[in-house]
């Protein structure tokens, strides 16, 4: 169980991490500080404060579209030297940046993980370790098969699965995540598509598009 315990307030992030550890979490996923957009030195201090204090494997999470600031390559590679910082969730959409992190952390016990389903195949092909997936909530077997094929070097099979899942990857981000994936799970009969405000239900035309994509995958 990897607990999301990030915050834009270092003290709060540390408190959440300590609570997660006390509750029995196996690891932590820490989003980079949002809104206050720290400089690289502040970003590194933020992550090191938690890593120094909480003895659990930790994944740093780079998603600048949501936080307003990317994690510099130099910051990621420096943090990779910390024994408790074991991974990097790459959701910037910047394959050059992700590839550089992979290249510069090869000597470390450090996993670079795709945080964007559509980019999992190229990231694994570059040397990434796998993904933290949205689509796997809806299509777990195909997603696992795609990643497994890529990790095994069977890129013909991985590309075939990428093509099968391509429409799903796109529609799951047609509106703000996690709205589409919750709707997809509801269509599949797993649970109701309930969202907390300010998230709102999927637009009817997007829901119809999602329904058609799911039917094609049956």
The residues that are catalytic are: 61, 89
Helix, strand, coil content of the chain in percent (nearest 5): 50, 10, 35
Residue 166's contacts (CB-CB under 8 Å, 6 or more residues apart) are 118
Burial label for 210, CB within 10 Å (0-12, 13-18, 19+), is buried
In angstroms, the CA 46 to CA 100 distance is: 22
Count of Cβ atoms closer than 10 Å to residue 55 Cβ: 10
Instruction: Give the torsion through C-alpha atoms of 135, 190, 200, 71, to 10 deg.
Output: -30
In angstroms, the CA 87 to CA 93 distance is: 17
Token representation of residue 93? 């959409």
Instruction: Answer for the pair 16, 53: CB distance below 8 angstroms, yes or no.
Output: no
Instruction: Answer for the pair 31, 4: CB distance below 8 angstroms, yes or no.
Output: yes
Instruction: Answer for the pair 82, 108: CB distance below 8 angstroms, yes or no.
Output: no
Select from 94, 17, 25, 19 the least CA-distant residue to 60.
17
């Amino acid at each position: 169980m990897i607990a999301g315990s990030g915050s834009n307030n270092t003290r709060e992030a540390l408190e959440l991490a300590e609570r997660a550890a006390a509750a029995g979490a196996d690891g932590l996923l820490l989003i980079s500080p949002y809104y206050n957009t720290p400089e690289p030195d502040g970003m590194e201090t933020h992550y090191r404060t938690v890593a120094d204090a909480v003895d659990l494997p930790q994944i740093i999470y780079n998603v600048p579209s949501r936080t307003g600031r990317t994690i510099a390559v130099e910051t990621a590679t420096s943090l990779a030297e910390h024994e408790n910082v074991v991974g990097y969730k790459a959701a910037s959409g910047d394959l050059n940046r992700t590839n550089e992190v992979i290249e510069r952390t090869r000597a470390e016990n450090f996993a670079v993980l795709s945080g964007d389903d559509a980019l999992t195949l190229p990231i694994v092909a570059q040397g990434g370790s796998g993904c933290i997936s949205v689509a796997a909530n809806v299509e777990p077997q195909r997603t696992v098969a795609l990643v497994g094929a890529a990790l095994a070097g069977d890129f013909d099979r991985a590309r075939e699965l990428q093509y099968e899942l391509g429409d799903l990857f796109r529609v799951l981000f047609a509106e703000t995540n996690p709205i589409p994936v919750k709707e997809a799970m509801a269509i599949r009969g797993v649970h109701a598509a309930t969202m907390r405000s300010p998230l709102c239900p999927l637009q009817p035309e997007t829901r119809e598009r999602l329904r058609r994509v799911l039917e094609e995958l049956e």
